Structure 1
Amino acid sequence: MNPKVSIIMATYNRSHFILETLVSIENQSYKNFECLIIDDGGIDNTFEIIGPLIEKDQRFKYFKRPDQYVKGLPGSRNYGLDLAKGEYIIFFDDDDIVHPQNLELCIKELSDTDIYFCRYIRSVFFENFHYNFDYSKEYGSFYIDVKDIERMLKNELPFNSCAVMWKALCFENNRFTEHLMYAEEWELYSRILTSGYRGISIEKCLFFGRKHPNSNTGEFYRNNQIRVESKQNAILLVVENLQAKKLLNYSLMRYFMHLSMAYKKFKLFSKILETSKLNFITRAKWIVFYNLLPIKILLYKFRKKLRTNTNYEN
């Protein structure tokens, strides 16, 4: 029988974490899945560590990323998408812990023909994981569609790569942009959401992300230039997609103007103006807005500090 769910896991030199992650997948209450482990060219002993599990359980399959896919997380995941046989797709990282009910509850929600993805809560942990799962099946939920794109892009409604199960149909015309080395899921998932796919978000934690300095996110916040440049490239692709679908409203433009302040060395502001294809008058207004933005930010910080001091004195 073909698996109902395809789990795609890219891995790179994580032999010290990956087995614990795979065991948490093996312990899923829902059993009809395949787990495609895509090695991105690691040089540690990952295969030796996971070999016994692969030999014991044929649902776990190990592949090395072919050269026709660009090295990195997006290329490895795209290879996994091309291998996947499941009706549903989910991406897991190689150093995290999966709640035993993850697949079961997501599939339950996706049985609705009008729902194309199931988002859930993800929490984080440091060092050792404490196995104290909440097995309750009672939780709140709400629907998500293109009207929520602004919340998603601003991370007010986070779409972590490992916290969404998708119907495979969502990826028929959507793939990861392989030259992106950071924010690749932010860019891809915004494309999917603006393509008209409706989903559901459930208020239950079904995934636990391990926090450590060697993660892509950790490198981004340490100002790794590859990650930083990738984020600005992802921003431009998001703007291009929104403009093409006539979804680039004032509020989103204002948000991207604020973001561009952190990417002056890449001349992101000018690139956003070019990509957004604004008329002359609107373009001129945004140029004035951008040039006045540092003063506005300074005034905002001053007022905030003044309010804090006043409250303290009172």
Structure 2
Amino acid sequence: MKKILITGGNGQLGSELRLLSKVYTQFEWIFTDYQELDLCNLEKLETELTKINPQIIINCAAHTAVDKAEAEFELSDVLNHQAVAVLAKWSNVNDCQLIHVSTDYVFDGTAATALTETAQPNPINVYGVTKLAGEKACIKYNPDSIIIRTSWVYSSFGANFVKTMSRLMQERDSLNVVNDQIGSPTYAADLAQAIMTILTHDNWQAGIYHFSNEGEVSWYEFALAIQEIAGFDCEINGIPTSAYPTPAKRPQYSLLDKSKIKSVYGVVVPEYITSLRRCMRLLGIEK
């Protein structure tokens, strides 16, 4: 029985994988968060990995607070880059399969069409810079690893845009939401299923893959969809990014092309609105 180690086990993706672990009982599952496996303690990390001795690592851990990361470069770099290098080195030496989760924020947002895996990365914030460094370390130290870039992740677990918008729409008469950043949301449950489709496939093909739900929307349009599904009575206004300054710049266009993951692994990619309904039903906020 292969042992799977999940880092970031209490995050959105880790929590969805925990649910799937009850289905994929052919694996032994080890879920860790920073209390059980501190990725920031680089000196001890290799020893801890040897103790656990997994045959598969799914690295869901990251410093994902994009605005806070601007003032916390060192912490971001340790978690998003240096720890990934240790995971990659260890997995390479110990014949362990590594799936590392990355982000659309490795791109600068100047593209006009959906981004393929060969598109040139050019991050514009600390989060993106450190995540790209993690990707490069992953490929350098374990060329047989798989990297999955994703975007706009939400789920019924943790804090995310869907839950925040749902709360604010009930508390306020009106909301302003950015309407000139374009991409596609990702329901973490769908990403977790895509990962398990890869792990149970006959053919392991290393490299970078893109995964998000189908659809091209702005954050404003995403908010309108949430409102429509829940039936909230709140005025939602679309505003430009310039009207809502944040410490970290965001890419204006980061829609991911999913052709590769579909063709190589036969991954099914649901429409974003279908998955959004599923999640909101679970949260009990569907009208």
Fold shared by both chains (TM-score > 0.5): no
Bigger relative CO (Cα 8 Å, ≥ 6 apart)? 2
Question: Which range, TM-score by smaller chain?
Answer: under 0.3
Q: Between Structure 1 and Structure 2, whose CA radius of gyration is higher?
A: 1
1 or 2, which has the higher helix percentage? 1
TM-score (norm 1): 0.23
TM-score (norm 2): 0.24
